[in-house]
Structure 1
């Protein structure tokens, strides 16, 4: 995979992206495996940011099994596939929601960013430049360690890795941290861990200590413990109703945890976003 990542970066280096003056903060939410609640965390995190007055765009960057729109109960007419193929503009595919955020639906069934033609890649990046109005862009990546994931993670200001207390999820979380450490040169994003579906504060802390200590010891990479989200029946109910729990159950334990995560992102080790232009340069393999 290292060779694939380097090939993609080399292919992208020919693209020059104008530097935006915007200070958009780019947050990639990812996980080592599916089924850990990554999309739920990303979606509710986006809404929590909007609730404190931020202009937020939530991008579903899963090009295989996109489902942000499902969680939100939104039926998109167009998605990333139409943008990449030049069939629709960013303005035409971006969707306003009742929750104060805008979303870009993922392209279900699409292959890989690495497989895009030069024209498709240029068009994709040019269109994404139109997101500079946003204060925060949250990118919900696909699960796992595919090349699409690495592309978005490498370009973000902050990377939120979601896991659960299950042993397989913990192992896979460490796996994606290892891939990040070995595939991405000159790491300068903030790596942060969220433990989802915990029963107690202690459980979340134990999982985080296990992951962060192993990452530090064997990979020499710093991963900060951002926080946890409680196991909460409000979450499953929200998924079935297709209405985010932070809106439908704002006083639930899970909603309180999401708000706490935003507080941590904003106040603890906060780094000013390097801007959308910088994100696009990094995404395309620039310095």
Structure 2
């Protein structure tokens, strides 16, 4: 780990912009699949862009990448090509018609932890190219893996997505419990979004249940960030491969997403070293 830390410091010395970065890094995760995490990540990115932010949406699912599917985009290159040193970050990052840039996930790739030292150092160096962004939203794979925990531990804030379904609530608590036990530093803000709610009351009840259990049994604070209505437009947008905030900008689900971003912007958080600090946490956790 000491060697990795020294390598990171060397990279930061060679990239002065990194140390001055105010990039806000938000990791989005879920205890199980099918809760709408990727769809939510994508629309949160678009809502941030509407505020005039430079946003990069990174698909960190190294098994089944889906961000490009939600956007109806076929990427020529992805993280696999970057990790294997076949392409650079500048070559794989994609502009979109939605005012954001995306880094496509590497379908079929297993673990960052399996990278050779040369591949890992190259990955670190390439990630510093993202430091010009105001916000980086990282969409992780569903469930708990070393990759997911690493991206959660490295972010400024982690958002857990659940739905009112009993299995989703149980799995949301499960991932929060693992974060509490596996992530050494819980200085990051851990937040909860309840997706596909029928009412404001339903969202609040689900959130209170998860938050109270986390507080009582894990001694861990989880903040309720908000809810997203179960809006038929969301499913329609998936079929159209267009973000629901674009398909129906004034719809119930879209309004919820914009409210969540507004709440995030008002939440006070520490402006650390941006990408540099993110990399220290990400790879320090795997040393």
Instruction: Give the TM bin, normalised by the shorter chain.
Output: over 0.9
Mapped partners of 1:105, 1:11: distance in 2: 29
Mapped partners of 1:203, 1:166: distance in 2: 11
- Alpha-carbon distance change, 242 to 232 in structure 1, aligned in 2, over 3 angstroms: same
SS of 1:263's equivalent? helix
- Alpha-carbon distance change, 11 to 72 in structure 1, aligned in 2, over 3 angstroms: farther
Mapped partners of 1:14, 1:163: distance in 2: 38
Report the count of equivalent residues: 279
Mapped partners of 2:133, 2:240: distance in 1: 28
SS of 1:182's equivalent? helix
**Alignment partner, residue 4 of structure 1:** none
Mapped partners of 2:3, 2:170: distance in 1: 32
**Alignment partner, residue 3 of structure 1:** none
Mapped partners of 2:5, 2:129: distance in 1: 21
> How far apart are residue 274 of structure 1 and its match?
4.0
> How far apart are residue 246 of structure 1 and its match?
0.6
Segments of structure 2 that go 5 or more residues without pairing to the other structure are 13-17
CA deviations over 1:135-186 (Å, ceiling 9, x no partner): 0000000010111101100100000100000010001000110111101112
Is structure 2 residue 175 aligned with structure 1 residue 207? no
> How far apart are residue 283 of structure 1 and its match?
0.8
Verify the 8 A CA contact 2:8 2:279 in the aligned structure 1.
no
Mapped partners of 1:230, 1:10: distance in 2: 47
Mapped partners of 1:278, 1:215: distance in 2: 27
| 273-282 vs 166-175, greater mean Cα deviation | 273-282
Is structure 2 residue 31 aligned with structure 1 residue 32? yes
Segments of structure 1 that go 5 or more residues without pairing to the other structure are 1-8
SS of 1:16's equivalent? helix
> How far apart are residue 15 of structure 1 and its match?
3.6
CA deviations over 1:52-106 (Å, ceiling 9, x no partner): 0000000000000000000000000000000000000000000000000000000
Please provide the CA RMSD for this pair. Answer: 1.5
Mapped partners of 2:22, 2:229: distance in 1: 32
**Alignment partner, residue 165 of structure 1:** 164
**Alignment partner, residue 86 of structure 1:** 85
**Alignment partner, residue 61 of structure 1:** 60
**Alignment partner, residue 237 of structure 1:** 236
Mapped partners of 1:272, 1:195: distance in 2: 26
CA deviations over 1:18-76 (Å, ceiling 9, x no partner): 15211100000000000000001100000000000000000000000000000000000
Mapped partners of 1:257, 1:270: distance in 2: 22
> How far apart are residue 13 of structure 1 and its match?
4.5
SS of 1:132's equivalent? helix
SS of 1:30's equivalent? strand
TM-score (norm 1): 0.94
> How far apart are residue 269 of structure 1 and its match?
3.6
